[in-house]
A and B are shown apart, each in its own frame.
Chain A
Amino acid sequence: MHEYELIEGYTLEIISRAQSTQRRCKILLSRNFASKAPRNLASVLIDICILLENACRSIFKSIDWQDKNTKTQESFIILQITDFIVREIGSHISYIDEAQTQKLPWSFIQPVQKLAKALLPGVQIMLTPQWEYNYTILTTNLYDVYSNYLSRFVNYVSGTNLEEILAPLGKSFHIVSFPSIERNNVLLHCIMGHEIGHLASKKYFTEQRKQILLQSIRDNVASIVEKKVKKVAP
């Protein structure tokens, strides 16, 4: 019974965290943004949290309390990972918060997004300031990240359409950050072109080039693995 109460308490804690993320996103939706991208991200985060909240309830209900070992343990691991995802998703709210109009070079946002759209059709770019004195781009596609995080939860909530939840992100969503102290320095912002270029450069890593790269590292990796195996083998 003690175990039941502990896991129940933990489940409620995850649900409450997911609800808090939803609330914060809803508040942010009422703010001003220079483009649609932050709003799209906020609405996706809300839907993700609703899915995780429902999944949490379903996972808790599916726990087999008769089996005190493996099954309870594995179900608890699934809850822990759900909690991990809720926290990760929650940390992405700061991107939306920072993307409010007054914190950005607002007149510059639309032209940069138009440029990105012309160079990379179907790619959505969101601009945010950062404290670090550098320009950076999140080359990882957020659509793929969320899709990977959530695909296993579809089993727990019937009727879930993951593509519908992630649709506002388009097929590709990336975040470009710039040093907040240089917000109004338009001459420095040409570096954003370099950052967007990171996405364009991906096209040049063709299958043939991948094969050459793999060939060049194979021997080195094999020798490292062999050394490790020699250590382990009796």
Chain B
Amino acid sequence: MRSINMAEKAMIVNYILLTSQVVLTLEDAIENKDLTEQQYNSLKEGSELLSRIIEGAMLIEGKKFKNGFGPTMEGLSIYGYALSTIQKLDFIKEIKEKEFTQFFEKLRNELSKLIKEKRKDDKIASQLKSFFVQLGSSFREDIQKESYYKEKNLPFTLKKQKNAYA
């Protein structure tokens, strides 16, 4: 459990809304409904979110950044949520030799295919949907925990020290 700052909270809230919008769009795609321009934009933003996760994965795996990718704090932070998503969905068995970057690149490529070619494989669309559902849930966990966060009741001397360096 950790306390999150205002900027991080706003970023997480933004991503929760994005994951929900992507899930709703993927549901429509699975039901073979025609997607609107707005829904395609949501999928594009979902693909950008996967790019941020890839940046985090590349940073941790010590890979060279290319194709417009670069190290960002945002990517590193989101990568943590993506890892816990993989753990919960039990995708870890599918990832050989800890190649998380490749796994996320595969997900992003599938999503890009859906956006560009406007056709989908039902199995992959369902996998993408469950990934985004669980990713949204991982984001929400931190926000929910934060609502119940209470500062520790520190003794007076410690409070004084804390004030001195705040």
Majority secondary structure, A binding face: helix
Q: Which of A144, A149, A232 contacts B13 (CB 8 A)?
A: A149
When the two chains form their complex, are residues B92 and A74 in contact, meaning their CB atoms are under 8 A apart?
no
Query: What 0/1 readout, one digit per residue, does chain A (57-82) give for beta carbons within 8 Å of chain B?
Result: 00000000001001100110110010
Whether A218 contacts B27 in the complex (CB less than 8 A), given A77-B136, A148-B13, comes out as: no
Contacts of A221 in B (CB 8 A): 60, 76
When the two chains form their complex, are residues A225 and B10 in contact, meaning their CB atoms are under 8 A apart?
no
Contacts of A77 in B (CB 8 A): 16, 20, 136, 140
Give the A-B contact count at a CB cut-off of 8 A: 88
Shortest C-beta distance, A77 to chain B (Å), equals 5
Contacts of B98 in A (CB 8 A): 226, 229, 233
Contacts of B20 in A (CB 8 A): 74-75, 77-78, 81
How far is it, in angstroms, between the C-alpha of A145 and the C-alpha of B4 when the chains are bound? 13
Contacts of B92 in A (CB 8 A): 229, 232-234
B 61-101 contacts with A by CB, 8 A: 61-62, 71, 76, 83, 87, 92-93, 98
Whether A75 contacts B24 in the complex (CB less than 8 A), given A148-B14, A218-B59, comes out as: yes
- In the complex formed, the residue of B with least CB distance to A148 is B10
When the two chains form their complex, are residues B166 and A140 in contact, meaning their CB atoms are under 8 A apart?
no
Q: Which of B16, B76, B129, B133 contacts A81 (CB 8 A)?
A: B16
- In the complex formed, the residue of A with least CB distance to B16 is A81
Contacts of A70 in B (CB 8 A): 23, 27, 129, 133
In the complex, whether A214 has a CB less than 8 A from a CB of chain B is yes
Contacts of A138 in B (CB 8 A): 6
Contacts of A133 in B (CB 8 A): 163
When the two chains form their complex, are residues A84 and B143 in contact, meaning their CB atoms are under 8 A apart?
yes
Chain B contact residue count (CB 8 A cutoff) = 37
Majority secondary structure, B binding face: helix
Contacts of B9 in A (CB 8 A): 88
Please give the residue numbers on chain B whose beta carbons come within 8 Å of chain A beta carbons, in ascending order: 5-7, 9-11, 13-14, 16-18, 20-21, 23-24, 27, 38, 41-42, 59-62, 71, 76, 83, 87, 92-93, 98, 129, 133, 136, 140, 143, 163, 166
Shortest C-beta distance, B126 to chain A (Å), equals 11
When the two chains form their complex, are residues A134 and B166 in contact, meaning their CB atoms are under 8 A apart?
yes
Contacts of B136 in A (CB 8 A): 74, 77
Contacts of B23 in A (CB 8 A): 70, 74
> Considering residues B9, B24, B163, B166, which has the most beta carbons from chain A within 10 angstroms of its beta carbon?
B24
Shortest C-beta distance, B28 to chain A (Å), equals 9
When the two chains form their complex, are residues A144 and B93 in contact, meaning their CB atoms are under 8 A apart?
no
How far is it, in angstroms, between the C-alpha of A152 and the C-alpha of B133 when the chains are bound? 17
How far is it, in angstroms, between the C-alpha of A78 and the C-alpha of B41 when the chains are bound? 17
